[in-house]
Amino acid sequence: MKKISFFLALWSIVILSHSQTQRFEIDWNGSKVFSIGSKQIELPHFKAKNFNFSFEKGISFVSQLDDKTPINLKSAKITNLNTTVVSESDLKDLKLSQIPKNIQLISYNSNARGKTSNTIEINPIFNDEGVLKKVENFTLSFAPSPSNRSFNSSTSLQSSALKTGQWYRFAIDTTGVHKLDKGFFDALGINTDVINPKSIKVYGHGGQSLPLVNNETQSYDLIQNAIQFIGEEDGVFNNEDYLLFYAIGPKYFNPENNSHINPYSDVCYYYIRIGGENGLRMSTAEEPLGSPNNTFNTFHDYKFFENDEYNIGQVGRRWFGHRFYYENTHTFNFDFPNLITSRPLNLRVYAAASAESITNMEIKANNSDISSLSFPAVQYGILGTQDIFDGDIIISTDAVTIDLFYNNNGNPSARAYIDYIAMEAERALVANALQFQFKHNDMPLLNGIGQFNISSATGIDEVWDVTDPYNISFYRNELNSAEFSFKTNLGHSKIYQAVALSNTYRPRLLTNAAVANQDLKGTVFLNNEGQFQDIDYLIITPAFLSAQAERLANINRLKNNLNVKVVTLESVYTEFSTGMQDVSAIRNLVKYVYDNASNPNNRLKYLCLFGDASFDYKDRIQNNTNIAPSWLSENSFSLTSSFISDDFFGMMDGSEGSMATADKLDIAVGRILAESPQRANEMVDKIESYYNADAYANWRNNFLLISDDVDKLSDRFLQLTTDEIAEDVKTSKPFINVKKIHSDSFTQESSAAGQRYPQVNDAIFDALEVGAVVVNYFGHGGEDGLASERIFDKINAKALNNPSKLACFVTVTCEYTKFDNPLRETAGEFLYWNKRGGAIGLITTTRQIFISVGIQFNETLSQYLFDFENSQTMSIAEALRLTKNDPSVTNNAQRRLVFFIGDPALKLPLAAPEIIATKLNGEDITNTNITLQALSPAKIEGFVASEQGNIINNYSGTLTATVFDKSIQRTTLANDGSTFNGQLITLDYETLGEVLFRGQATVENGKFEINFIVPRDIVVPVGNGKISFYSKTDNPLSDQRGYNFDIKIGGVNLNAPEDNQGPNIELYMNDESFVSGGITNENPTLIAKLFDENGINTASGVGHDIVALLDGDETNPFILNDYYIADVDSYQIGSLSYPFRNLEPGLHTLSLKAWDVYNNASTKEIQFVVFDQNESLEITNVLNYPNPFINYTEFWFNHNSSGVLDVSIQIFTISGKLIKTIIGQTNASGSNSSLSRNISWDGTDDFGSKIGKGVYIYKLNVKSQLTGLKSEKIEKLVIL
């Protein structure tokens, strides 16, 4: 992205004769109330797609040009401007301080994978000499820019300097001249007796953070520094020889960070290379001939104070020091020897405060009042405010004392912080035998020759020109003169270092100084055969997670046929940032890979940051999780615009990197949130399970939408937008079964903790455990969960049990997955980390987001997420990339708040088309005269087809058919009484009809047949229902989908045979070996087997649900209709499996009531004991089966552990001699069963020899991996 900002006062820019124009209208529409969390603000408003607002900058008008070719940015000019005068009251909540004094135009050229767009941005309101004006329309004149559309890499393939030679590293923390003598080289482990000092080289860029903007990076390889090596002429490293070089420390002012402290590291590294060609050496400076036009006897000295101790909002990369809390006064001392007191001293004070009322800070210099800083009160979403003093002061002494007095205005909780204090003063150019840096600010303003005159220079040996720190030249004080002068050309800023050999710095030795050879740039594209191969997918990980990252890479190689490369962060830093952490080093590697593809179509597509991230790059907080760092904004106060974003790593244009509004993504980026190998393994396990056979089931046809209720007027769009998305999906992808959970359709209940929706909580759990491919929630939320009514919170996220049915969650709500704060784990993180299920990935937010932005983002995202033909879906992260680049959301920087957490190559697991129903009860299914009546038999026939619609004759598999009754019309309840124009805000919406039958059939030679009896509880009026089909085949593993809306349902079969017998029911807990009264864990699974001659009713007729009651509690029934499915090729037999959650320890009685399709009921009970984690570990019913045995037996026992047990079985003779030890585990497969029967024995001893017949004793020992509790039992066995 390229950008230029200028004022209307600069309209004198000359426009080329072939300029073009475009007219823009700003469609003002009064004002609009915007909501973010519980905060509401009213702002002047115009068309949403052009509207942008931030608390820091106010409102702006953003639009894309019709012309898609790059424009000459310098040619852009506003003409034909029409404005209207407005009053201050028209600003509503927009601050007068946010209104510029004139029109500011910003224009951009953006490119995303070869697609160009042009964007302009202006402030639509300005203060014209006290008169407020709003822009009604204007014309933009611009000239096209020459465009080279050919593929042209900005970086070329190259090998790293690290590829060969001996390399060592050392640390420095101070800017200046450093001396490395023979003893230092020896301490590094270098054998100085065998090296030629001429071959010694120094590499590094010092402590400066790398540029954020792509094209400002000077080199993608290590940069060699010019050095001096005293005594190298003889080619021998003698004892008196030494090396001098100029190093830049980590404290160095960087305008991009507005800080003197490197944000990523407090220490920086330089490398020494031994061997090869001669190293780069400093040159003698060439003084210009002639007399000087200007002489400099003074210089400008710069001093600062800055500490990084506090991050006020725990967001952003800006840190502060010296907190004003208990002590409201701090003093800072500076010294400027030989100060020119007649010249002003420039003082800058940056400070911030966090207070609920206006506070201020007085600044004094040498006891004289200088100024006062004023800090506005914090407000919703703004965690701190800042003020700046930047001005000239007069000081009469060399010593300068700055006193800061914080006035908290009587608010004891108020706090203030110093960002930094900086001063620049003019001093006499007098040396004092110490090295020092100097410059003169007039140099770039003057022409000709300048001469610097240094007095008291006896101790100064040389002056180095360090303007280019990699190519230094020097002036030598040959005679150690007291007055030393040198000449230089003027017209440019230059920086000099006065060098005193008696006052050099010594670098810090490192324990592991040797640096291994590596060539990341030269080898990253090579395949196993050493041949160039384009990279599809790049994973960047710390070394300690590399094994798990490789597992993820292998999954994508096998499942998605991608060329995946795993690169460690350590190798990236070693090669791209001289061993120092730097987010730009990561980005530079990504850009290197992207740029060097063989052609544009083969460029890098996916990037995965494998590891957690944190707002603290330097591990200043406890339990920090800065594993794979992300980009953090310099703004560190706002929860709406102080954001963390991985977008930084995916924007590849030369002028991108500043995270400007129009910067666009070229690469789909995802992140695996893991801080340990164990967590990483668990997350990769989930991704692996996503492709396993168990995940192939009819849940892949389901889509779940959840909306918040209408707590206030502005919330009315939440449920409306959610419902519109649902209807769009239904229309465009009719095979998807869309389930809607509008919270306001359920009864709201009051509790001590506030308003709650327990039925919504249950409905969400049930829908997730039945399974859904996508779960889209839209509404309010936060770090603790969804909605103020806590319809799905942290506890729920951890308790969710949906293995093999992992959903992609879309939660465009405030801070749901604010993962960069290790001090507070969020609901989104727990949802992702859930080992038993939860989310496979999240499109989620890390900061607060405006509802208006969320609406537009959600609507645009759904277009891309479901933009596929047949089964050719794009990855979830790619859909997010396209959404962020879409013109409808590009104008808003808040899109940076949205992340994809998960594997960026992961796609929605949608089955391929097509399954086609052909006949109903032997007739063409499109025959309008056929109606399925209540209690009538139904036979559906059809076939599995290719994408071209032809039957797949060799197809064999299992099909699931779900038959829905007619759609149901519903209306929300307006629980909170919110009104619009005097009317309660309700929503009329449509949902899928009740499930009449869910069963399975065998598919042979591509054909299938489904039979069932239509339940009595259908809605009687005739109308069209829906059949949803899903089929799976195991060889090869694949699935198909289909649907049909031709089926007509209604009426009653008056000739149905009589049936007065209810269904047969069998109940178990955890597995079918369970015996009533047995032990379970706290999360047991109910298993029910049902049989009825006419089938089981799941149609949800009033009072006719499949209902489970726990301990007779009729106020909290468990409705299990959605969990029931008929067996393959039988509508009479079926089963359900329901996971209970967090049951109290002790004895429980569970009853299940089920109805057949004739509405005959049966009830069955079962008892079980939930193990108390605080009680001892118990094992019961210990036996071996068969017993007696000859050469095979199994050891069976029940236990009360919910976790894995380590098992040891020792077998003894009657006399007590140990002859065999068997080691095993319970629950190793993830089963919740309280019965263990997976350890067997063949009757041989520890040496494999068959033991004799007789009676033997065995001792069973178990130990819980979770609690460490132990238990043992002794029994007998007999060998025949």
pLDDT digit string, tens, across residues 501-546: 999 999 999 999 999 999 999 999 999 999 999 999 999 999 999 9
- Give the length of the chain: 1280
Going by pLDDT thresholds of 50, 70 and 90, the confidence category of residue 306 is very high
Residues 1169-1197, mean pLDDT to the nearest whole number: 88
Q: Rounded to whole angstroms, what are the CA distances from 882 to 50, 308, 895, 1277?
A: 18, 38, 12, 67
| Banded model confidence at residue 37, pLDDT cuts 50, 70, 90 | low
**CATH T-level topology, domain 299-428:** Jelly Rolls (2.60.120)
Q: Note the pLDDT tens digit of each residue in 228-261.
A: 999 999 999 999 999 999 999 999 899 999 999 9
Residue 1088 has pLDDT above 70, yes or no: yes
146 pLDDT higher than 70: no
CATH of domain 1064-1170: 2.60.40.650
Provide the token pair at 124. 């639509």
Q: Which helix (H) or strand (E) holds 881?
A: helix 876-885
Which residues does residue 1207 pair with via DSSP β-bridges, in sequence order?
Answer: 1224, 1262
pLDDT of residue 112: 85
**E strand residue ranges, 603-727:** 606-610, 631-632, 644-645, 668-672, 702-707
Say if CB 584 and CB 615 are below 8 A apart. no
Pairing of strands 473-476, 462-465: antiparallel
- Res. 1073: pLDDT tops 70: yes
Average pLDDT over residues 632-646: 87
Q: Looking at the predicted structure, is the pLDDT value of residue 1219 above 90?
A: yes
For the segment 592-617, what is each residue's pLDDT rounded down to a tens digit?
Answer: 999 999 999 999 999 999 999 999 99
Query: pLDDT tens digit string along 162-206?
Result: 999 999 999 999 999 999 999 999 999 999 999 999 999 999 999
C-alpha to C-alpha distances, 1236 to 119, 1166, 1201, 1207, 1244, nearest whole angstrom: 66, 20, 11, 10, 22
The secondary structure of 450-482, three-state, reads EEEEEECCCCCCEEEECCCCCCCEEEECCCCCC
| Residue-level pLDDT at 149 | 43
Asked whether the predicted pLDDT for residue 6 surpasses 80, the reply is no
Question: What is the distance between the alpha carbons of residues 1059 and 1062, in angstroms, rounded to a whole number?
Answer: 8
Task: Tell me the pLDDT of the chain averaged across its residues.
Answer: 92
Helix H, strand E, coil C: the string for 1048-1081 is EEEEECCCCCCCCCCCEEEEEECCCCCCCCEEEC
Q: For residue 1061, what pLDDT band results from cuts at 50, 70 and 90? A: very high
3-state helix, strand, coil in the chain (%, to 5): 15, 40, 45
Q: Where in the chain is the domain with CATH 2.60.120.260?
A: 299-428
CB-based contact 477:460 (threshold 8 Å):
yes
Closest by CA position to 107, among listed 143, 83, 134, 80: 143
- How much is the average pLDDT of 491-498? 97
Q: 563 pLDDT exceeds 80?
A: yes
Which pLDDT value is given to residue 870? 59
- Give the three-state DSSP class for 633: coil
Tokens of 922: 């032997």
Rounded to an integer, the average pLDDT of 330-340 is 97
Share of the chain above pLDDT 90, in %: 77
Q: Which CATH number fits domain 520-650: 3.40.50, 1.10.4160, 1.10.287, 1.10.10?
A: 3.40.50
Average pLDDT, integer, range 864-883: 86
List, in sequence order, every residue forming a beta bridge with 1043; answer none if it has no partner: 1028
pLDDT at residue 774, as a whole number = 97
Q: Is the pLDDT of residue 12 over 60?
A: no
pLDDT at 48 over 70: yes
Band the pLDDT of 928: cuts 50, 70, 90.
confident
Residue 18: pLDDT band with limits 50, 70, 90: low
What is the H or E stretch that residue 119 is in? Answer: strand 115-122
Assigned CATH topology for domain 1179-1279: Immunoglobulin-like (2.60.40)
Please state, in angstroms and rounded to a whole number, the distance separating the CA atoms of residues 230 and 679.
53
Q: How confident is the model at residue 1202 (pLDDT cuts 50, 70, 90)?
A: low
Lowest mean pLDDT among 65-79, 853-867, 939-953: 65-79
Does CATH number 3.30.420.40 belong to domain 913-970+990-1052?
A: no
What stretch(es) of the chain map to CATH 2.60.40.650? 1064-1170
| C-alpha torsion 819→821→822→824, nearest 10 | -90
Indicate the CATH number of 698-907 among 3.40.50.1460, 3.30.450.40, 3.40.1390.10, 3.40.20.10: 3.40.50.1460
In the chain, where does the domain assigned CATH 2.60.40.1930 lie? 913-970+990-1052
Residue with tokens 């063949």: 1242
pLDDT at residue 1229 is higher than 60: no
Q: Is the pLDDT of residue 36 over 80?
A: no
User: Boundaries of CATH 2.60.40.4070 in the chain?
Assistant: 1179-1279
